[in-house]
Structure 1
Amino acid sequence: MEKVAEILAEASAVAVEPRFRALAAGEVMEKAPGEVVTVADREAERIIAHRLRELLPVPVVGEEAVSADPELARALHSEPAVWLVDPVDGTSNFVAGRPNFAVMASLVRAGQTVAAWIWQPVTGTAYAAELGSGAWCDGRRLTHPPVADSPAQWQGILKSRFLDPATHHRLQSNARVFGHLSGGRSAAGIEYPLVATGEQDFILYWRTLPWDHAPGSLLVTEAGGRSARLDGSAYRPEAPGCEDGLLVTADADQWDRIHAILLGLD
Structure 2
Amino acid sequence: MEKVAEILAEASAEAVEPRFRALATGEVMEKAPGEVVTVADREAELIIARRLQELLPVPVVGEEAVSADPALARALTSEPAVWLVDPIDGTSNFVAGRPEFAVMAALVRDGRTVASWIWQPSTGTAYAAELGAGAWRDGHRITRERAADLPEKWHGLLKSRFLDPALHHQLHTRARAFGRLEEGLRSAGMEYPLLADGGLDFILYWRTLPWDHAPGSLLVTEAGGVSARLGGTPYRPEPPGCEDGLLVAADPALWERARDILLGVGG
Report the TM-score range of the alignment, normalised by the length of the smaller protein. Answer: over 0.9
Q: How big is the shift at 1:197?
A: 1.1
SS of structure 1 residue aligned to 2:103: strand
Deviation per residue, 1:222-258 (Å, 9 max, x gap):
0000000011000000101134200000112211011
For the 8 Å contact 1:36–1:92, the answer to whether it is kept is yes
Greater shift, 1-10 or 190-199, is seen at 190-199
Match of 2:217 in 1: 217
The superposition leaves residues 16-64 of structure 1 with CA deviations (integer Å, 9 ceiling, x where unpaired) of 0000000000000000010000000000000000000000000000000
Whether 1:150 aligns to 2:150 is yes
TM-score (norm 1): 0.99
CA distance in 2, matches of 1:144, 1:103: 22
Maintained 8 Å contact 1:209/1:242? no
**1:29 — aligned with what?**
29
- Residue in structure 2 matched with residue 160 of structure 1 by the alignment: 160
8 Å contact kept, 1:230–1:244: no
Tell me by how many angstroms 1:146 deviates: 3.5
Aligned 8 A contact 1:87 1:103 in 2: yes
SS in 2 for 1:247: strand
* 3-state secondary structure, aligned to 2:252: coil
- 1:182 maps to 182
Question: Per-residue displacement from partner, 1:196-216 (whole Å, max 9, x unpaired)?
Answer: 111100000011000000000
> Which amino acid is 1:234 matched to?
P
Structure 1 portions without partners, runs of 5+ = none
d(CA) in 2 for partners of 1:185 and 1:242?
Answer: 24
Counterpart residue type for residue 7 of structure 1: I
Q: Distance in 1 between matches of 2:102 and 2:174?
A: 31
Letter in 2 for 1:219: L
Find the counterpart in structure 2 of residue 130 from structure 1: 130
Q: How many residues align?
A: 266
Deviations 1:105-155 (A, max 9, x none): 000000000000000001100000000000001111111313112111000
Letter in 1 for 2:163: L
- Map Cα deviations across residues 81-128 of structure 1 (whole Å, 9 max, x no partner): 000000000000000000000000000000000000000001100000
CA–CA distance in structure 2, aligned partners of residues 171 and 17 of structure 1: 37
- Tell me if the contact between 1:194 and 1:200 (Cα under 8 Å) persists in the aligned partners: yes
Query: C-alpha separation between the residues in 1 aligned to 2:116 and 2:135?
Result: 9
RMSD in angstroms over aligned alpha carbons?
A: 0.7
**Equivalent residue for 1:69?**
69
Task: Please give the secondary structure, in 1, of the residue aligned with 2:238.
Answer: coil
Dislocated runs of 4+, deviation >3 Å: none
Question: What letter is aligned with 2:53?
Answer: R
Deviation, 1:187, is 0.4
- Aligned equivalents of 1:59 and 1:191: distance in 2? 27
Matched, 1:8 2:5: no
Q: How do 1:248-263 and structure 2 match up within 5 A?
A: 248-263=248-263
1:207 and 1:242 in contact (8 A); partners too:
no
> Quick check: 115-124 or 137-146, which moved more?
137-146
- 1:165-205 alpha-carbon deviations (Å, 9 max, x no partner): 11011100101011100000000000001111111000000
In structure 1, how many angstroms separate the alpha carbons of the residues matched to 2:196 and 2:118?
A: 12
- Aligned ranges for residues 84-95 of structure 1 at < 5 Å? 84-95=84-95
SS in 1 for 2:208: coil
Distance 1:50 1:108 in 2: 17
**What are the Cα deviations for residues 65-84 of structure 1, in whole angstroms up to 9, with x where unaligned?**
00000110010011000000
